Amino acid sequence: MRMYDLIMKKKHGETLTDEEIRFLVNGYTKGGIPDYQMSAFLMAVCFQGMNEAETLALTMAMAESGEILDLSAIHGMKADKHSTGGVGDKTSLILGPMVAALGVPVAKMSGRGLGHTGGTIDKLESFPGFSVSISNERFFENVNRMKLAIIGQTADLAPADKMLYALRDVTATVDQLSLIASSIMSKKLAAGSDVIVLDVKAGSGAFMKTYEDARKLAETMVKIGNGAGRKTYAVISDMNQPLGYAVGNILEVKEAIEALNGRAPEDLSDACMTLASYMLLGAGRVTDITEAKELLAETIRSGAALTKLAEFVEAQGGDKRYVYEPDRFPRANRTYEVKAQADGYISAMNTEEIGLTSLLLGGGRETKESEIDLTVGIVFEKKIGAKVSSGDTIAVLHANDETKLSAAVTKLQNAVTIGQTPLSPVPHILGVVEQS
C-alpha cells in the first residue's frame, strides 16, 4: 500500500477501506508517512468528504493509536459528558456532582482551556491543592467510593489525533465535519465511559457557527458512538452568548457554586439539567427525562450535589472550605464596569471575541505552555434581549494589569451590539440527537 495512491483515491472522491485508513493513521503516527503527504490527504478530505464508514474507521484507528482506558474496575455504567468548546461553560462542575449524587459513576477525563474556550481542569485548579494528576488506581477507587473523579488527558490518549490535530491547525483543515467528529470521538472512546453525552455548541462562540452544521456534527458523532457500542446522545445548545454570566476561572467556579446552591441562571440550569438527564437515562438510572429532571432538582434542593462537590474536591487534594465559603477565593486587583454606549436592546454578542477578551486579561492560554491568571475574567450584568440605557453597566471586567484591561475594554465593547428592536428569547437548548 502506498500513501500516494490513497491521496489520489481521495482526491477523486473514492471511498477508502478500513485497512487503508488504518494504514495511513498508523503510518503517520509511527513517522513513516511525512507531514506533506498527510496534509495533502487532509485537504482532499476537506474537498471530497468521508462517508460514515470511513469516518468510523478513522475514529477507531485514532482511538486505538494509544491506550484505551479500561474502566472495568469501576462498578456500574459510567457516564461522561463532552462539550465541543464554549465560553462560560462551567457545566461539568455542576452536573458531575448532581449525577454522582444520584449514584451514577462519572469517571471523567477533562482538558484545559485553549484559545478562546475554557477548560474544566483550569477551573478545578482554582481550589487550592486540587490535582487532576492522580494514579489510575486512585481514580478508580474515588469513583467507586463517591462516584466522581476527574483526571487530565494522558499523553497516550489517542496520540494519532494529537498529531493530526496539530497538523490540521496549520494546514487550514480543521473545519471539516468528519475530521472534527473523529477527533472528538476518538478521545471519548479511548476515555472508556459507557455513556457519552455530547454538548454540541452552535453560534458565534462555537466551532460550528450555524445550527445546521452543529446538527450534522451531532448526528455524525452520535452515529460513531453508538456504532462503537457506547450509548451516545448529543444536545445542541446555543453559543451565541456566554453560558451564564461569568467568564474566567474563579469567577466561573463561584457561579457553579451558586448554581449548586439553587441560584443558577436559566440558560446554565437548562444546560446542566438536560445534559445530566441524558447521562442518567443512558446509564439506566431513570426511564425518562421528566423523572431525571425531578431527581436532579432534588439533588440541588437537598444540598446533596453541593456536598458531593465538596467531597470530590477534598478527595483530589483540594480545600473544600472554598465550596462553602467562596469568598475565600482570591480576587483580581481591580474591576472595571463596561457601560452601554446607546439606548436599546442587546441584540448580538460576538462570543468568540468575549472568550478572547478573557484570554487577553490573562484568563486563558495563548499556547499550551502559558500560565493563566485564575482571578481575571468578566461578569455580565446583561445578555441578549436585555433593554439598556446609555451608561448602564453591561459587564464588569476583573483585571490585574492596566494595559491588558484597556485593550479588554475596547474588545468587549466591540463584541456587544445594541440594536433598536426588542428580541424574542431564544431557548438555550436547540435540539437533541438520540439516534440517527
Question: What are the residues binding ligand URA (CB under 6 A)?
Answer: 84, 165, 174, 179-180, 183-184, 207
Residue 165 Cβ vs ligand URA, minimum distance, rounded to whole Å: 6
Alpha helices in 49-158 (DSSP H): 52-63, 91-101, 120-124, 136-146
Residue nearest to ligand URA (CB): 183
Find the catalytic residue in 168, 285, 320, 382. 168
Is 187 a catalytic site residue? yes
Biggest CA–CA distance in the chain, Å, is: 67
Cβ nearer to ligand URA, comparing 184 with 315: 184
Find the catalytic residue in 187, 215, 285, 404. 187
Q: Nearest-CA neighbor of 204 among 418, 92, 368, 347?
A: 347
Find the catalytic residue in 161, 199, 267, 270. 161
From residue 104, how far is each of 11, 114, 236, 351, 396 by CA, in Å? 46, 29, 23, 33, 38
Task: Say how far apart CA 265 and CA 45 lie, in whole Å.
Answer: 41
Residue 19 Cβ vs ligand URA, minimum distance, rounded to whole Å: 24
Alpha helices in 191-248 (DSSP H): 211-227
Cβ nearer to ligand URA, comparing 37 with 183: 183
Bridge-partner residues for 234, per DSSP?
198, 433
Query: Residues with Cβ < 8 Å from 272, sequence gap 6 or more?
Result: 91, 94, 95, 98, 259, 264, 296
CA atoms within 13 A on the CB side of 344: 15
Query: Residues with Cβ < 8 Å from 46, sequence gap 6 or more?
Result: 173, 176, 179
Cβ nearer to ligand URA, comparing 112 with 383: 112
Is 82 a catalytic site residue? yes
Residue 142 Cβ vs ligand URA, minimum distance, rounded to whole Å: 25
Residue 146 Cβ vs ligand URA, minimum distance, rounded to whole Å: 28
Query: Residues with Cβ < 8 Å from 131, sequence gap 6 or more?
Result: 125, 316, 317, 318
Helix 177-190 with 52-63: angle, nearest 10 deg: 40
**Gyration radius from the chain CA atoms:** 22
Bridge-partner residues for 416, per DSSP?
349
Residue 89 Cβ vs ligand URA, minimum distance, rounded to whole Å: 13
Cβ nearer to ligand URA, comparing 94 with 164: 164
Alpha helices in 283-429 (DSSP H): 289-301, 304-315, 321-324, 351-358, 402-415
Find the catalytic residue in 110, 126, 178, 183. 183
Q: Cβ atoms within 10 A of the Cβ of 419, count?
A: 12
Find the catalytic residue in 82, 90, 308, 365. 82
Cell of 339: 457601560
Cβ nearer to ligand URA, comparing 183 with 316: 183
Cβ nearer to ligand URA, comparing 176 with 240: 176
Cβ nearer to ligand URA, comparing 104 with 206: 206
The pair phi, psi for residue 239, each rounded to 5°, is -130, 40
Is 135 a catalytic site residue? no
Residue 270 Cβ vs ligand URA, minimum distance, rounded to whole Å: 23
Residue 405 Cβ vs ligand URA, minimum distance, rounded to whole Å: 30
Q: Nearest-CA neighbor of 232 among 215, 243, 220, 244?
A: 220
Residue 341 Cβ vs ligand URA, minimum distance, rounded to whole Å: 34
Cβ nearer to ligand URA, comparing 82 with 383: 82
The catalytic residues are 82, 161, 168, 183, 187
